Structure 1
Amino acid sequence: MTSLPGGSDHGCSATEPHPPVCARCGIPADGLQPTTWTCSVENGIRQFFCDACSRENLRAIEGRLDSSGW
């Protein structure tokens, strides 16, 4: 998981009342807790990214770039 610098992963729980949707490609998660997905807080907004989009953009994620920079 990624979080804001100096912060915690507060708010990145996948326990939403409905499955999250990938913020990059729009695919819905198979369940309520997509363990292979990435959670990111960008500009104070929690976003989830599927495992495929996470793998494709690993360098950007590691560099802590907002998804708009991908």
Structure 2
Amino acid sequence: MTSPSGGSDDGSAAQQRRFVCARCGASAEVLTDAPPLTWTYSVEDGARRHFCETCSRDNLRSIEGRLDSDRW
């Protein structure tokens, strides 16, 4: 049996989620709960902030400088 809209009946249809870079405002829409694999994130003041691939690469040294030594 199929639904009239052609989708699945179990409600598991994937929905796009939008991530916006906290630094430059670039956006990406993905079908998962996670940002694209090339993006990074940090938790600042209790809020998760995502950063696009370009901003992540441009600021890699600053990002690594905040990690505890046991992380690298």
TM-score normalised according to structure 1 size: 0.61
- State the number of aligned residues: 49
Larger radius of gyration: 2
Unaligned 5+ runs, structure 2: 1-15, 68-72
By how many angstroms is 1:45 displaced? 0.7
Question: Which is richer in strand?
Answer: 2
Unaligned 5+ runs, structure 1: 1-16, 66-70
TM-score normalised according to structure 2 size: 0.59
Aligned CA RMSD, in angstroms, stands at 1.9
- Match of 1:43, as an amino acid? D
Moved over 6 A (4+): none
Return the structure number with greater relative CO, CA threshold 8 A, min gap 6.
1
Identity %: 61
